[in-house]
């Protein structure tokens, strides 16, 4: 009888995790009635795998397409992928990010992720809240700035990331995407870099 109860408990746990898209936080699992013992049993059997602190996913799922962004989406849901990481997401840079660039509004708590290199950038309320897109990656909602907002942000942080990277991104944006000068200037105004951007945009028109 004991064995059938254990099997029933693990099967029920797997069913619950499936309802969460195959990924679940330990606190959400406990709230849903999955005991820590059952979680550990599923880990030991290889049914579950731990992909970040306090987060588990079903091992039967396809490998994560972008594990770093999935971890950020899970661990820092209020953060927004920005700057070079956002350029890479939108495929308008040849740079390979060595850390994940995250935007946080001033006053938000600093994320604690020891096993993943991150770079946090603080934005004012209006700058932070403008141009956010939500994308689903591996069943996790990821917040990323739009192409045009990302480019405006890069102009704002040009001294930190390098003007060569900004201009390369602007060139690739024109070659690969729908060039929208009005949208670029809208975000340039929000980021207070409109006057800096105008000469470069005029040179491309």
Say yes or no: 144 and 172 in one domain.
yes
Say yes or no: 188 and 155 in one domain.
yes
- Return the pLDDT at 19: 80
Q: Encode pLDDT of 79-113 as tens digits.
A: 999 999 999 999 999 998 889 999 999 999 888 88
Say yes or no: 76 and 53 in one domain.
no
**What is the pTM (predicted TM-score) of this model?**
0.76
Distance of alpha carbon 193 from the chain centroid: 25
Question: Which range among 42-56, 104-118, 136-150 shows the weakest confidence by mean pLDDT?
Answer: 42-56
Say yes or no: 29 and 98 in one domain.
no
Q: How many domains does the chain have?
A: 2
User: Could you tell me the residue range of the domain that residue 35 belongs to?
Assistant: 2-58
Neighbouring C-alpha atoms within 13 Å toward the C-beta of 31: 6
Find the CATH number of the domain harbouring 163.
3.30.460
* Nearest C-alpha neighbor of 160 from the set 84, 95, 60, 54: 84
Say yes or no: 45 and 143 in one domain.
no
Say yes or no: 52 and 98 in one domain.
no
Say yes or no: 73 and 36 in one domain.
no
């Amino acid at each position: 009888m004991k064995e059938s109860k254990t099997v029933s408990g693990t099967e029920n746990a797997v069913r619950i995790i499936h309802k969460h898209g195959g990924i679940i936080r330990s606190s959400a699992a406990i709230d849903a009635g999955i005991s820590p013992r059952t979680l550990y049993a599923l880990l030991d059997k290889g049914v579950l795998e731990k992909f970040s602190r306090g987060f588990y996913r079903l091992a039967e799922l396809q490998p994560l397409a972008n594990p770093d962004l999935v971890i950020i989406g899970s661990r820092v849901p209020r953060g927004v992928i920005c700057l070079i990481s956002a350029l890479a997401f939108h495929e308008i840079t040849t740079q390979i990010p060595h850390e994940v660039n995250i935007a946080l509004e001033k006053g938000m708590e600093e994320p604690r992720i020891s096993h993943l290199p991150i770079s946090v950038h603080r934005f004012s309320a209006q700058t932070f809240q403008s141009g956010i897109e939500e994308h689903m990656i591996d069943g996790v909602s990821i917040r990323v700035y739009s192409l045009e907002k990302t480019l405006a942000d890069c102009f704002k942080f040009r001294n930190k990331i390098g003007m060569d990277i900004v201009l390369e991104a602007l060139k690739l944006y024109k070659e690969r995407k729908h060039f929208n000068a009005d949208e670029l200037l809208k975000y340039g105004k929000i980021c207070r870099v409109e006057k800096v951007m105008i000469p470069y945009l005029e040179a491309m028109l």
